[in-house]
Chains A and B, each alone.
Chain A
Amino acid sequence: MSEPTAAPAAPASAGKPRSLWQDTWDILKHRKIFWISFALLIMFLVMAAFPSLFTSKSPEYATLAKSMEPPSSDAWFGYDLQGRDVFARTIYGARTSIIVGVLATVGTVLLGGVVGVIAAYRGRWLDSLLSRIGEIFLGVPYVLGAIIILGSVAPVQSNPGKTMIMTVVIVVLAVLGWPVLARIARSAVIQAKHQDYVQAARALGAGPFRIVFKHLLPNSLAPILVYATITVGSYIGAEATLSLLGIGLRTPVISWGIAIADHTRYIRTGAHAMLFPAAFLSLCVLTFVMLGEAVRDALDPKLR
């Protein structure tokens, strides 16, 4: 966004060589956008961990007489269709969305990372095979794949438990999302594979595990990390989209997506019940996207 005010500090003339992460940090700490997204991230994490810090009201307590009341000094965000406090439900919704986003990303990174590293490290027929399988998964459009899997495993009419449906949504997001990460990991490892230090490690008799974990992974981590941060944001959006379609998370769970889905029909009479959760959802996605982009810009020497 804004140009760094000071030119990136020239490497100290003497002493220790500087690592990529040190350089990145030097740039990041001068970036306003990094600190804004970092502060927002902390806020959302605290909100997810201790929602009662933000509101004393219960997200489950409903007064039907107050159904769809607009925002007031009593309830900042108004009341929803069931007469529940929208502010409390929005605060409590952070937890589900962030858990789903983070765990689905962890799943994607593990699955895609393992496949990508194996494909790149082994090469030859295994590489082509894994790449073809990735292409097949990539060919299934995202929304459609999720609809098919979720529609079969947890159809619209069914009423699965809270943990069960969250697990299914996480697994679906990871299963459909891994090929992109596998490609990133694969190309990062292929680039690092022929470097001298890897050859040296091999010459010293290091086994494949040691080479991958000690040498290849640390040097391929940057692009994976950046992609993962942005992915958390897009998975939070994807979770809400699936909830909106009625095949993702369901009602006993409190989430932004469900809050929006429950009130889409009342857009003319009480948009507040939908707009506030939507605003929090968008802000949360924005936080992760901004953070990921700030780190990527700092890491990428081409943009300096």
Chain B
Amino acid sequence: MGRYAIRRLLQLIPVLLGTTFLINYMVWQLPGDPFAARCGQRPCPDAYINAMRAEFGLDQPIIVQYWHFLKNLLTGDLGVNFNNVSVASQLAESWPITVRLGLMAVAIEAVIGIVAGVLSGLKRGGFLDNVITISTLILLSLPVFVTGFLLQWLLGVQLDLIKPTVSDGAPFVELIVPAFVLASLNLAFTARLTRTSIIENRRSDYVRTAIAKGLSNRRVVGVHLLRNSLIPALTFIGTEVGSLMSGAIITEGIYNINGIGGLLWRAVNDHDFTIVVPIASLLVLVYLLANLLVDLLYGVLDPRIRYE
């Protein structure tokens, strides 16, 4: 187990290097001048562009730029944005809010998704199954921002149950609806994956054996069936953590939450990409670590899976 974890950690390094390189490349090397919008309506003077290019190292070859990025990243120096505000301090303010929103979303998607999946899988073809299948289908076809605006309009504007936008500091209660919106798509997938694997595993021999030896229904479902059926749902939840957090840009935009989504949003509008690279790298790291965690959890859920 320990050796396996270390090997997997080492395997993360090339993917992390590749992805951060790709992000650096896309941000700085794609056609389009990164400083184009810095001077309002008129084009920037050459002297300014040259000075900025030199300051952000764009006059050097991409490999050298990437090396500087890595060196700075490892020493914890994330640099400053075009307005000379420290990127690290901006991140420190907004990161905790997005993490809170993301964790709440993961909790909602895991709990509701798995419960709904188990309930509908156990009574396949029943009334509850049909209700759950149809509602997950609807959730799947509603883009996240549609769900977001719809709930904002319905609960916030029409029924006046929640505040349409989240206030400063993002208190827990006000984040519940945004977290549900963020989780909605994944929740539907989780429910369906759980349902499918419950249906498949219910016919398996070990379940029949468990029933035959007289175990209570609760134990058969809760221990034997559930543990084996959780793997696909868990894989999905784990692999989607990264994109869940990047999807926060939309939810945070709708509900006016000051997380990394809002930060990204302003950066894109100002055409200032200095903050995009660290955020993207951070999200990639989250994605890779979540995947690793899922791989390690497999063994806990299913002892047949061995790490060599």
Contact = CB atoms under 8 A, between A and B. Distances in A.
Given A140-B280, A144-B283, A155-B36, A278 B23 contact: no
A148 B280 contact: yes
Nearest to A293: B137
Interface stretch (A77-85, A193-201, A220-228, A283-291): A283-291
B242 A147 contact: no
Given A141-B246, A142-B246, A290-B137, A282 B284 contact: no
Interface string A138-176: 011111110111011111111000000000000000000
A274 B130 CA distance: 30
Contacts of A143: 243, 246-247, 249-250
Contacts of B30: 149, 152-153
B43 interface: no
A267 interface: yes
Nearest to B41: A157
B250 A139 contact: no
A113 interface: no
A216 interface: no
B269 A140 contact: no
A237 interface: yes
A182 interface: no
Contacts of A244: 145, 250
A130 B280 CA distance: 22
B271 interface: yes
Contacts of A238: 143
A140 B24 CA distance: 12
8 contacts: A139-B19, A139-B288, A141-B242, A245-B253, A260-B145, A264-B149, A289-B140, A303-B199
Q: In the A-B complex, list the 6 residue pairs whose CB atoms are closest, starting with the nearest.
A: A141-B246, A286-B141, A237-B143, A136-B18, A152-B30, A139-B19
Interface of A: 1-3, 132-133, 135-137, 139-145, 147-149, 151-158, 233, 237-238, 240-241, 244-247, 260, 264, 267-268, 271, 274-275, 278, 281-283, 285-286, 289-290, 293, 302-303
A140 B37 contact: no
Nearest to B277: A148
A301 B146 CA distance: 35
A237 B139 CA distance: 12
A139 B141 contact: no
Contacts of A2: 125, 130
Contacts of B140: 285-286, 289
Given A141-B242, A245-B268, A282 B200 contact: no
A258 to B, nearest CB: 13
Interface string B257-281: 0000000110011010100100110
A132 to B, nearest CB: 7
Interface in B274-307: 276, 279-280, 283-284, 287-288
A33 B293 CA distance: 38
Interface stretch (B82-90, B93-101, B150-158, B230-238): B150-158
B138 A286 contact: yes
B215 interface: no
Interface in B123-141: 125, 130, 133-134, 137-138, 140-141
A148 B141 contact: no
B45 interface: no
Interface in B28-51: 30-32, 34, 36-37
A169 to B, nearest CB: 15
Given A141-B243, A144-B280, A267 B133 contact: no
A269 to B, nearest CB: 10
B118 interface: no
A278 to B, nearest CB: 5
A267 B254 CA distance: 11
B9 interface: no
Contact of A286 (B137, B149, B250): B137
B243 A142 contact: yes
B15 interface: yes
Given A140-B19, A143-B250, A286-B137, 16 more contacts: A2-B130, A139-B15, A139-B288, A141-B243, A141-B247, A144-B280, A144-B283, A149-B26, A156-B269, A157-B37, A245-B253, A246-B269, A267-B149, A271-B157, A274-B149, A278-B150
B207 interface: no
B280 A3 contact: no
B24 to A, nearest CB: 10
Given A139-B287, A141-B283, A147-B276, A152 B32 contact: yes
A303 B138 CA distance: 21
Contacts of A290: 137, 141
A101 B15 CA distance: 29
Contacts of A157: 36-37, 271
A282 B264 CA distance: 26
Nearest to B242: A141
B276 A241 contact: no
B166 interface: no
Given A144-B264, A151-B273, A267 B31 contact: no
Contacts of B133: 1
B66 to A, nearest CB: 14
Contacts of A245: 249-250, 253, 265, 268
A290 B140 CA distance: 10
Given A136-B19, A245-B268, A290-B137, A155 B32 contact: yes
Given A147-B249, A241-B144, A139 B31 contact: no
